[in-house]
Amino acid sequence: MASPLIHHVSVINRDRYVTFDFYHKLLGLEFLLKTVNQDEVEMLHLFFGDKTGRPGTEFSVFEMQNAPQKKFGTNSLERTVFAVPSEASLEFWLTRFEAYGVFNCEIEHYQGRKYLHFEDRDGIQLALTSLRKGDASEHSPYQEADIPLEHAILGIDSFQCRVRYAEASARAFMKMHSLQQLETYEHNGEQVTVLGGEDVLFGQQLHLIEDRTRDIETQGIGSVQHIALNAKDRADLQEIEKKILDTNFRYSGIKQRDFFESLYYREPNNLLIEVATEQTNFVKPAMETDGYDAIPLFLPEFLESRRSYIENQLKR
């Protein structure tokens, strides 16, 4: 199967139960893991995706109960677009969103395609569009009881960034990740630059919306914390690390994330980018996911000695 361009997306929500109900029960994403932020272990970290949990389908949520609401602006990681099997699927989801009171913009035309823009309960900006490349039967979506398989979310189609200087970000992404500029177009008076790669999973794309008029986003509840781009393996990750060092971007060094290795850097418009290895040793643990509280907390081996402290900190 093709490699992804976008490995995963990580966002900030306020409440674990609302998050679980929205992404697992309403959107029908598989619940993959209940764990913690390895850099701040008092923070809950929830993972969703397809049945396999493979890169290109993963969407994760940090719980920050006391954080302020974000202030919309530029230089922000703005919107995750998920792929569904067909345009008919958009009609199914529009009806479902209306039934569950999900804020949405109905079905719109954008970049010559049909999109259904919507938000989660905390204002995370999301969208659905029909599968750009390949066949739905090639993928492994989780099937929620009241979501027919022919309409299930397959994975991440694309991601939209809002930046002051799109050309600077485009050059950096093309250099660091060997991406290509696919096209430019105008939407609502804003110029959009589209980046992609050859033979990528779902035909994934990055969209850079140039916005020099708004203030810089203040991050908080409803923000995307980071987007992770894919590195095929450790050797690929090290090659990207070398490019980052040569460019003198701020970065974290390579970190072991238990299931994969990764690094973080800031690109020219100060977006936080993770680069994560596609080669993982993740195997979804057996669990019943009907109720959040019954799901065990997974901790990497190096945190097991602190389990009692961590579980006590996560109690509500």
Q: What is the pLDDT of residues 4-53, one digit of tens each?
A: 999 999 999 999 999 999 999 999 999 999 999 998 999 999 999 999 99
Superfamily name with CATH number, domain 6-314:
2,3-Dihydroxybiphenyl 1,2-Dioxygenase, domain 1 (3.10.180.10)
Gap between the Cα atoms of 221 and 69, Å rounded: 5
Two tokens, residue 84:
């569904």
> What strand order describes the sheet that includes 155-163?
104-110, 113-119, 125-130, 76-84, 155-163, 205-210, 190-196, 180-187
Structure-model confidence comparison of residues 86 and 290, the more confident one: 86
pLDDT at 165: 98
pLDDT at 210: 98
Judge whether residue 225 has pLDDT over 90: yes
Residue percentage of the chain with pLDDT more than 90:
87
pLDDT at 54: 93
Q: Among 75-84, 194-203, 281-290, whose mean pLDDT is lowest? A: 281-290
Judge whether residue 289 has pLDDT over 80: no
pLDDT tier for residue 187 given thresholds of 50, 70 and 90? confident
Q: What is the pLDDT of residues 58-74, one digit of tens each?
A: 999 999 999 999 999 99
pLDDT tier for residue 143 given thresholds of 50, 70 and 90? confident
